[in-house]
Structure 1
Amino acid sequence: MSTKTAVPVADILRIVQEYYDSVDSRDAARVADNYLVAPDTTLQFNADDPIVTVEAIKAFTAQLFQSVSVKHTMIEVWNTPLMGDIVPVDLAPARSASTVTVVSTALPTFSIDSRSEMTRVAVPATSIFTIDIASEKLVSVHNMFDLAKVYAALGN
């Protein structure tokens, strides 16, 4: 398998950075604009069930942004498959020749306003992005980080 993609590296970096920037903006419509409008477009956290469809992703992020803001730093993107072409490709939706899958790490800092105080939690994260080559839109984003720390901060 070739480690080359049909999407130039600069475009992959731009697409991933725009996703992080849109999340950091707390604008649910801007986040949703990054996704391909398709019935199997997904956003997933860890092993939780995926959020399916752009409208559901938009509704989820709008609700999240009511109490949480995020700022991503230390972003790294692997635009080619890791360790000799090993990138998880068995995640839904199915990968195809019309998509490219890349991995990114980042340090999102969550700021949670509990009305009495602002709590900040930094949690290292890894994300798997599957990008539709033709539209340069996201087919899926799978985020993996310790949600328990964020939930605990929300409970304060």
Structure 2
Amino acid sequence: MVLTSSAKAEVDEVLGTKRDISFEDLGKFSYLSQVLKETLRLYPTAPGTNRWLHEDMVINGLKVPAGCSILFSSYVSQRLEKFFKDPLKFDPERFDASAPKPYFCYYPFALGPRSCLGQVFSQMEAKVVLAKLLQRFEFSLVPGQLFDIKDTGTLRPKSGVICTIKPSS
């Protein structure tokens, strides 16, 4: 798979045979970061965020009174054609540094002063885990799996994900 081989090539280039990943190494994982961002675009851990209205508001001609809670679905908005070309296609290149970024359309950790406090840490942690897994193993999905999602406040695969794993050569 091209995606895995590109990510693995980057990990091999940045880490070589090093066992430990430094903070400086994390900044060199540009493609791995793109893969993580694209994954969170299509499958945000939390599928939405809500905000309480402190004053009446009109949204698309509909009056919403103060005291109401508004839910913004990142799962829906991050899959809209008007914000992302071929929105259901997994394309890490859309997060390349030179690619245009749609404003307020990508928010897997929410936005503004109430965004997730752990977003930077969780992204660093995810890069460390992904890099170590790609450094040590090769993965392939077992064919014929259902790809359904269970929403329990966070999104997860309903039927799990079954892979064949072998040591990296």
The structure in which a higher percent of residues are strand is: 1
**The two structures share one fold, judged by TM-score above 0.5:** no
The structure in which a higher percent of residues are helix is: 2
Q: TM-score, normalised by structure 2?
A: 0.30
